[in-house]
Structure 1
Amino acid sequence: MPRTEPRVRRLAAGLPAVAAAAVYGWAHWCLAGPASPPTAVAWLGAVLLLVGACVAYGVLVGGSGSVFGGLLLALALLLTVTAADQTASRPATASCVVREVHTRLQGSLGEGAPSQKTVYRLTLDCPGGYPGELKDDRAVAAVGEEVKVAYDPRRRASPAPEAETSPWRAALCAVLLLAASTVIAGRRPGPATRPRPGFTPG
């Protein structure tokens, strides 16, 4: 049994990187592939990958570390999807007028997770009726002002302010969280490999 411990640790430590690569590949294909699946299928696939990765992480790592590391992994995978979305092509632009601005406070998920932030949802009047809204973590324009929006006519990638679709911040945060979850996984043996109290191998 002790010989299996290094193998389990390696599997657990390698899981975050493999999961991130799988999630990014799926999201990139759904957003920029030549024959992307329907939106419902794309979301279902992303959810299954995320949940499956977190469950596998919890089984391999075990203990309290699996909870904190699994949370970091989930956040990293969500940021990976964000990075994929921001790298997707938005070849069209539109000059839109802001009709309404709504705000929502997005709370933190605990210690070590990103702090709470305000999410802004702008309702837009655009030529042709699309895009109808724009979400951002800052107020890009006030009611009545005009904002230039880059969007995908195929409506796969979410609209974004023109020239503000850099994936680097999301990618960097994802890498840091993946590194933290990898360190946690590498330092903790899997639940099946821990010796039972009072048990001495013969």
Structure 2
Amino acid sequence: MPATDRVTGGLAVAALPAFAAAALYAWTAWCFGSPAAPPDAVAVVGGAVLLLGACSGYFALVGGSGGFFGALLLSLGLLLTVTAADQAASRPAVADCAVREVETKAEHSAGEGSPPTRTVYRLLLDCPDGYPAELKEGRAVAGKGDTVRVAFDPRRRISPEVAGRTTPWTAGLWALALLALSATIAWLKRGPSGRNHD
């Protein structure tokens, strides 16, 4: 294969993670924010098709162990892209809600070297209009009898959160790092110095 074709092919495969992330972010943002967004089931299926299609295409184009690990990194990067889109989505309504009860649940990870046990806090709320009725957080943001300020989407497409607390930057930066690793693997396997040129 000519060197120019190798470079072009390598660039095309290496660019796949960026194109997939842009498409999935646009789809997720549209589903969360547009008045003409599709029903929830269609939104989930559409997102799943984009994610699985991108990972399958990446694995088929790159191949071998590099294709497997690159597709795994790509899938994690795309999931974090969805998380960033969720955290960036508009929650235009705000309410001061009384915390009726706080429930905790420990989420254990199995296996050696797995992440430590994580505690999820479920706050049962009394809000002025009855919604939201609950809030889930990864840390204790309020106790029973306290008042918490909650930002939410009146159309109920996005989960509520503590007002002013969540930003998309952490998820977005992790997504960029994983997508860059996936693109690097694709370039090393398919670029001008890689082996998989046929």
Instruction: Give TM class, smaller chain.
Output: 0.7 to 0.9
Give the AA of the match of 1:103: K
Matches of 1:108 and 1:72, distance apart in 2? 21
Matches of 1:172 and 1:107, distance apart in 2? 24
TM-score (norm: length of structure 2) = 0.84
Which segments of 5 or more consecutive residues in structure 1 lack a partner in the other structure? 196-202
Alignment pair present for 1:55 and 2:63: no
Alignment pair present for 1:135 and 2:107: no
Report the equivalent of 1:105: 107
Alignment pair present for 1:160 and 2:173: no
> What RMSD in Å do the two structures reach over aligned CA positions?
2.8
Match of 1:129, SS state, is coil
Per-residue deviation, 1:160: 1.0
Query: Would the aligned equivalents of 1:30 and 1:42 in 2 still touch at CA under 8 Å?
Result: yes
Per-residue deviation, 1:107: 4.1
Per-residue deviation, 1:2: 6.3
TM-score (norm: length of structure 1) = 0.83
* Alignment length (residue pairs): 193
Alignment pair present for 1:70 and 2:71: yes
% identity of equivalent residues: 52
Match of 1:124, SS state, is strand
Report the equivalent of 1:37: 38
Query: Would the aligned equivalents of 2:93 and 2:154 in 1 still touch at CA under 8 Å?
Result: yes
Match of 1:128, SS state, is coil
Match of 2:149, SS state, is strand
Distance 1:110-1:68 versus aligned 2 partners, 3 A rule: farther
Report the equivalent of 1:91: 92
Per-residue deviation, 1:181: 0.8
Per-residue deviation, 1:69: 1.4
